[in-house]
Each structure stands twice: as structure tokens, then as C-alpha cells.
Amino acid sequence: MKFEAFGLNETLLGNIAKQGFRKPTDIQYKAIRPILAGDDVLAIAQTGTGKTAAFAIPSVELLMRRRRCEGYTGVRCLIMEPTHELAHQVGEVINLLTQGTGLITVAVYGGVEQDPQIAQLDKGADIVVATPGRLFDLAAQKHLRTTGCEILILDEADHMLDLGFIDDIRQLVRFLPKRRQTLFFSATIDEKIKKLAYSIVVKPVNIRISPKNVVARNVTHSLIKIPMDEKRFFLERIYNENPDTQIIVFVRTRVRAERVLAAMERVGINAVNMHGDKSQKERTQALEKFRHGDSRMLIATDVSARGIDIPAVGYVVNYDVPDVAENYVHRVGRTGRGMDKGFAITFCAPEESDYLKAVEEYIGGPINVIEIDKATHEETLDFSEDNVDDWQSLIDEEIAREEGRSKKKRR
């Protein structure tokens, strides 16, 4: 089935083709029709399945079909995102989809100056992609009207709840017209999310894509068992053996993100990192460098990387086993986006076996273990650019750090 079958506007179809989308993904196939019909939708589909386009395409189509109400200058479609990066990213996708349609899109999020956002809003934006904080700021300053909002979209709702935005969302809904269409998108679902969803949608169409198959089919994921202090040598090796691939490396804490970056820099690898201690500007810069291929390795904590779409990632390395089992799925979902194939590998040290058990329980089975024979093991350590003479001191450093970490656990 093709996008043409939905009876979409020609300009929109052209914009979809320009993004290289040939046919709808599962979630798009199931969500686009009910949204076009005006139904509320509650959609659950894992990361990387194409949820953005699943709500964006039909919403753009609806906004084009219906004209803006006379005299109303406010927003017609409001898309809520949990993080600055996601608001920016989804804003870009919508910008591409609305080219030549006359619809105006503005992304509104914190961490950057608000004046340019205000200037754009004052022009009369049809679609606003926003994080809760900045949205409320601008609404309080009367730069944003929502009384005629036709469509409300909650994207990455599970992450939104994790970050504590539930009251913000409840409050927001009070400023929107009762007669509106609400679309609720999430990667996972539990009782809390369900409760929130049902408090804002009306008789929704429920869509759920492969709830059992938590890791996408096009991702090959495996595991190697190695000691903590040897992980960096294996990371170096993966980097060197995959010269054409972008690699995302996940670590558990901010401190680890800095440490692994330093270890990679020591062996001449041009890596960037992203974590909660970095400013918005630093994070955007790191991400841009990685996106454009100026750096092939991005080292990130779970929270900083959630939901971000970087198309060229062929490899995910779980440098640390996640301490929240569900994060395994989010991490691995960074590769094999859309229709591409991807690889994920997890480094598991003996002291992480409990975390691993939880992950395997969550995904419903063991992860395939790659046995490291003695020769491979030695080769990996021998070929490292790192000064191996100084090995013991590095191990000591690592141990000291690990101890420091367990005392002061931050993410």
C-alpha cells in the first residue's frame, strides 16, 4: 500500500516522497486513516517505528482541508514534546511536510532565546511544536492563543510522564476547546499512561503495534561479557572495525559519559557526548556534529538521548547495561530506524549481571552472547592505541571512579 491510497493532497504527497518514504510503516498504515476521519487516537508503538509521520501527515492534511476560522489568529494544531531536542526535531519534520502548503510551523522550546519564537508566533502559526515550560511562558505573555486549537498531539507520552509533566498536560487541556481532536502517542504503556490518556481523549481508536516484539525485527542485538576495565578497548575496536558507521554509545551516568569520552580521546577517536550536565547549546552542538558525520561516535546517557532521531546510526553500543530494563529497548531503538537494518551490542561486566537479568526478563528472552575467545581478547587489548604500560593506573582510576559512583549516583 502506498501513501497515495489515503487520498492526500498532491503537495503533501510530494513532500513525503522528498523525505524518501515510499510506503507507510505499520503505525502509519494504521493511524493515518482514523486521524483523517477525525477520531481521537491512542497509539502505542516502539521507538523508531515512524510515529512522527503517523500523526504529522494526517494532521497537515486536515489543516489544509479545513480553512482557518475567520478572525482566529492562534494555533490550530499543538504538538507537545518532552524535550527541547525533540521539539526541534519534530518541528523540522513538520517544516518539510508543510513546504509549499502555506501552513506556518513554529517550534517553541526553552534553552534558547524566546524572541525569535515570539516573532514567528506573532505571524500566526498554524502548527506549534512545544515543550510544556516554554509553551506556558509564551502563553502567559499572550503570544500564544489556543482557544481555536483543532488538534492536540501528545508525543512520547511515556517520556513526558517520566519527566513529571503530567500536571502541565492536565493544565494545558483546560486552555483548549473541548471540541478538538486529541492524538496520544507513546512507545510504552502502563496504568499511569492509560489513566492520563483516557482523561484527555474521547472514544479513541486504539492502535498497538507488536507489543511483544519489543526489539525491532531489523535490529540484530547481542551481548559480550567483559570486565568493566576492558570495555574501552572493545569500544575502540568496534569503532575501528566499522569505519562507515555512526555509533551511539550508552552509559549509565554523567560521570561515565565524561570518562568514556576521555578514554576515546586518548586513543585519537573524535567522539562527542551528551548528558544532563551539558547546556542546551552544548547538546545541540554535539548532536549536530554527530548528525553531520563530523564525529562518528556519540556517547550519551539514557535521558539525554531519548526519542532523538539520528538516521545514520548503524551501531548502538550499550557500554553499560541499563539500570532501568525498559531503557534497553529505547537504546536499541536508536538503530534500525524506519526500514534500515541495525546492530546493537551490550557490554556486560560480572557486576552488572542483575541488570542484565532484568533486561532479559523485560524483552522476554536471553540476548545472544558472542563468545570472546582468548586470541580475540588479547588482540583487542594489544591493538589499542592506548598506552598499555599505564594500564594498571587506568584500572585503578576506573575502580576509584566506580566506587565514587556508587556513593553518589547521578544520571
Query: What is the closest distance, in whole angstroms, from the C-beta atom of residue 52 to Mg ion in the complex?
Result: 5
334 binds Mg ion (CB under 5 A): no
293 binds, among ligand ADP, Mg ion, none (CB under 5 to 8 A by kind): none
Q: DSSP string covering 72-134, please?
A: --S-SEEEE-SSHHHHHHHHHHHHHHTTTT---EEEE-SSS-SHHHHHHHHTT-SEEEE-HHH
* Sole binder of ligand ADP in the list 278, 296, 306, 337 (CB under 6 A): 337
74 binds ligand ADP (CB under 6 A): no
339 binds ligand ADP (CB under 6 A): yes
C-alpha span between 144 and 137 (Å, rounded): 9
Per CB under 5 A, contacts with Mg ion among 43-72 are 51
Per CB under 6 A, contacts with ligand ADP among 290-309 are 309
Could you tell me if 271 and 72 are in contact, meaning their C-beta atoms sit under 8 angstroms apart? Answer: no
Could you tell me if 6 and 33 are in contact, meaning their C-beta atoms sit under 8 angstroms apart? Answer: yes
159 binds Mg ion (CB under 5 A): no
Stretch that binds ligand ADP, among 131-139, 203-211, 337-345, 388-396 (CB under 6 A): 337-345
Q: Determine phi and psi for 358, rounding to 5 degrees.
A: -65, -40
Stretch that binds ligand ADP, among 45-53, 65-73, 255-263, 296-304 (CB under 6 A): 45-53
Q: Give the nearer residue to ligand ADP in terms of CB position, either 213 or 393.
A: 213
First-last CA distance in the chain: 44
Stretch that binds ligand ADP, among 46-54, 131-139, 204-212, 359-367 (CB under 6 A): 46-54
C-alpha span between 311 and 47 (Å, rounded): 13
Closest residue to ligand ADP in the complex (CB): 338
Nearest to 411 by CA among 334, 329, 306: 306
* Sole binder of ligand ADP in the list 110, 133, 148, 338 (CB under 6 A): 338
49 binds, among ligand ADP, Mg ion, none (CB under 5 to 8 A by kind): ligand ADP
Distance of CA 126 to the CA centre of its chain: 24
Could you tell me if 54 and 43 are in contact, meaning their C-beta atoms sit under 8 angstroms apart? Answer: yes
Let me know the angle formed at the C-alpha of 56 by 287 and 2, rounded to the nearest 5 degrees.
110
> Which positions touch Mg ion (CB under 5 A)?
51
> Where on the chain is the footprint of ligand ADP (CB under 6 A)?
21, 24-25, 28, 45, 47-53, 309, 311, 337-339
